[in-house]
Amino acid sequence: MFDTTTWLMLGEGLIDTLYMTLFSTAMAYLLGLPMGLLLVITEKDSILPLPAFNTALSVIINLMRSIPFLIFLVWVMPITRAIVGTTIGSTATVVPLVLAAAPFIARMVESSIKEVDPGVIEAAQSMGATRAQIVWKVLLPEAMPSLIVGATISVTTILGYSAMAGFVGGGGLGDIAIRFGYYRYDDEIMLITVIILVLVVQILQEIGMRIANTSDRRKN
Amino acid sequence: MEAQPIISIQHLSKTFYTKTSEVHALQDINLDILPGQIYGIIGMSGAGKSTLVRCMNFLEKPTGGTVLFDGVDLGAMNAQALNEARRSMGMIFQQFNLLMQRTALQNICFPLEIAGVKKEAAVARAKELLEIVDLADKANAYPSQLSGGQKQRIAIARALATSPKVLLCDEATSALDPKTTRSILTLLRDINRRLGITVIIITHEMSVIEEICTHVAIIADSKIAESGTVQDIFTHPQTAAAQRLVFHRAGNVEQSVGNNALRIVFNGNASSEPVIAGMVLEFKSPVNIMYADTRDIDGKAFGQMVLQMPEDAAIAEKMKYYLTTHGLTVEEVQYNV
Ligand SMILES: Nc1ncnc2c1ncn2[C@@H]1O[C@H](COP(=O)(O)OP(=O)(O)OP(=O)(O)O)[C@@H](O)[C@H]1O
Ligand SMILES: [Mg+2]
């Protein structure tokens, strides 16, 4: 069907896509996890009540989430250039991906942490646990299965975004689909990239859900 | 010399401020709990029981008054000192509140981890506690694999891990069936006797108080209506709130009770049936048992009964005398409940 060069290109595209997706997810969690955690613990009745901060953080996250990703891509180009030195290629795509995914992840983390039974937090407090101990030994471990489900959803969403970044020269399978499939009307390449993306999403989803299920001690 | 209270509550008040209103959950509460007591706090739903017990370890910060733990004012402590003090006060809950992602053993290790105890020492202590609560075989089970009673036992073991002086129990048996309730109460009494831990029990069930408490405070409408030994309160409830609780299972009796009804309290001094039967035989006059809630333990009766006495005042008076001489506490029923 395709020659070796095309296969090699597709292989490289796949690696680029995986790199962008996984690296961006990791970086986005570095930002989003603390933000989500703060959203929960700074609430009025939680362990670090800071209502004004909580409202401000929530508004900022909503603002960031309401900007369409394509506009985001263009907007953050100056920041990308400052950080990476270029606005083209996989690494350059990581910057807008992280900035777009972090607030989304913050909300996912928020909802996972909120699932932790307040009674358990109260029990920990009654034993003299500090706030840090409650975060590290209660909130995160108790929310872990749900956090993993959230991470699975996040990683597949970021994969979709990374493909979109192909429109502005972002690299990876999305880039190939745009350049060959869309601009050159090469339906076969278009189809194969889509198939590869679907498979990757399936596999990531499956792995994530398996880890979440086997780690959840509420089921047996 | 009078022992120093382990928990002393003075003029405690707690007001919740919501957007639209103020809720005075506790008003001018005074309570001294001495070491070794099993102190029950009973009241209707919304009376303020949970708020009171949460004020004892400052999970809830009082809006007025003081709480002294072992002579030290909790309100004057900084966060670190308060956390230290909390390690001397175990707490268990209606919903058990175990960590769902940890095994029974790891749950018991949790308070020790927090206190900075080394892993091996913590595991050794946790195993010891599993023996005390009789669940050594469940060390590696997760809470989702345990029954309600077993979960509460693990929660008790966890609360005891740091060798507290006091165990606070907020409706610890309210989610359990009667048989399991009894076994948990027996465990609490054992812990009180063997380890000398003061136990504070919050409940809305008089049967829990009767079963194990030495002392009781009745809380109604955010205030302590009455407090004292269980014996005293049970036999001579003074206030309407206390009478309502002591009597509450006779809920629908009051409409049907006429003027000359008697309440008889059994305190284990006689078996219930022979006394009543004997009285009926002796006076050849029937009485109507309006309400009875007695239990025979080792041939001795505990509980209460409400009798509709005969119209004939002379016979009624003699019967009353008969009951009194048989060691029962007898009261005219005149509850305006
Ligand atoms: N965080 C809160 N904010 C506002 N009001 C509260 C709060 N906590 C408790 N209250 C109110 O304080 C009163 C006492 O509540 P509390 O939970 O102490 O009652 P309780 O005696 O434990 O009742 P129950 O038997 O139903 O558990 C209730 O009127 C309740 O609505
Ligand atoms: Mg309550």
> CB A144 to CB B101 under 8 A?
yes
CB pairs under 8 A between A and B: 83
Identify the residue among A127, A134, A144, A220 best suited for mutation to test binding to B, counting B beta carbons within 10 A and taking the highest: A127
CA of B47 to the centre of ligand 2 (A): 8
| AA letter at A181 | G
Domains of chain A: 4-214 (1.10.3720.10)
What whole-number distance in Å separates Cα of residue B270 and Cα of residue B296?
9
The structural architecture, per CATH, of the domain B247-332 is 2-Layer Sandwich (3.30)
| Strand B89-93 relative to strand B166-170, pairing | parallel
Please answer whether residues B73 and B66 qualify as being in contact, where contact means their C-beta atoms are separated by less than 8 angstroms. yes
Tell me if chain A has a CB within 8 Å of the CB of B82. Answer: yes
Ligand 1 atom nearest to B48, measured from its CA: 18
pLDDT band of B271, cuts 50, 70, 90: low
| Strand B223-229 relative to strand B261-267, pairing | unpaired
- Pocket perturbation via mutation, ligand 1, pick of B24, B50, B203 by most ligand atoms within 8 A of CB: B50
Q: Cα distance from B90 to chain A (closest Cα, Å)? A: 7
pLDDT tens digits along B204-232:
988 899 889 999 999 999 999 999 998 88
For domain B7-16+24-236, give the fold.
Rossmann fold (3.40.50)
Domain edges within chain B:
7-16+24-236, 247-332
Question: At residue B285, does pLDDT exceed 90?
Answer: no
Question: At residue A9, does pLDDT exceed 80?
Answer: yes
pLDDT tens digits along A28-64:
999 999 999 999 999 999 999 999 999 999 999 999 9
Among the bound ligands, name the one nearest to the CA of residue B16: 1
Ligand 1 cavity residues, CB under 6 Å: B 16, 18, 23, 25, 43, 45-51, 204
> CB A128 to CB B113 under 8 A?
no
Ligand 1 atom nearest to B204, measured from its CA: 25
Give the residue, by CA position, lying nearest to ligand 1 atom 16.
Answer: B48
Q: Cα distance from B283 to chain A (closest Cα, Å)? A: 59
> CB A127 to CB B142 under 8 A?
no
Ligand 1 atom nearest to B54, measured from its CA: 18
Three-state SS annotation for chain A? CCCHHHHHHHHHHHHHHHHHHHHHHHHHHHHHHHHHHHHHHCCCCCCCCCHHHHHHHHHHHHHHHHCCHHHHHHHCHHHHHHHHCCCCCHHHHHHHHHHHHHHHHHHHHHHHHHCCCHHHHHHHHHCCCCHHHHHHHHHHHHHHHHHHHHHHHHHHHHHHHHHHHHHHCCCHHHHHHHHHHHCCCCHHHHHHHHHHHHHHHHHHHHHHHHHHHHHCCCCC
Question: At residue B301, does pLDDT exceed 80?
Answer: no
Question: At residue A142, does pLDDT exceed 70?
Answer: yes
pLDDT score for B336: 44
> CB A126 to CB B86 under 8 A?
yes
Question: At residue B337, does pLDDT exceed 50?
Answer: no
pTM of the model as a whole? 0.86
Supply the ipTM of this predicted assembly.
0.90
Chain B residues in contact with A116 by the CB 8 A cut-off are none
Tell me if chain A has a CB within 8 Å of the CB of B97. Answer: yes
Ligand 1 atom nearest to B222, measured from its CA: 14
What whole-number distance in Å separates Cα of residue B245 and Cα of residue B230?
12
What whole-number distance in Å separates Cα of residue A86 and Cα of residue A171?
13
Angle of helix B272-283 versus helix B313-325 axis, rounded to 10 = 140
pLDDT tens digits along B154-203:
999 999 999 999 999 999 999 999 999 999 999 999 999 999 999 999 99
Please answer whether residues A146 and A154 qualify as being in contact, where contact means their C-beta atoms are separated by less than 8 angstroms. no
pLDDT tens digits along B27-51:
999 999 999 999 999 998 999 999 9
CA of B62 to the centre of ligand 1 (A): 13
The shortest CB-CB distance from B100 to any of A130, A137, A142 is to A142
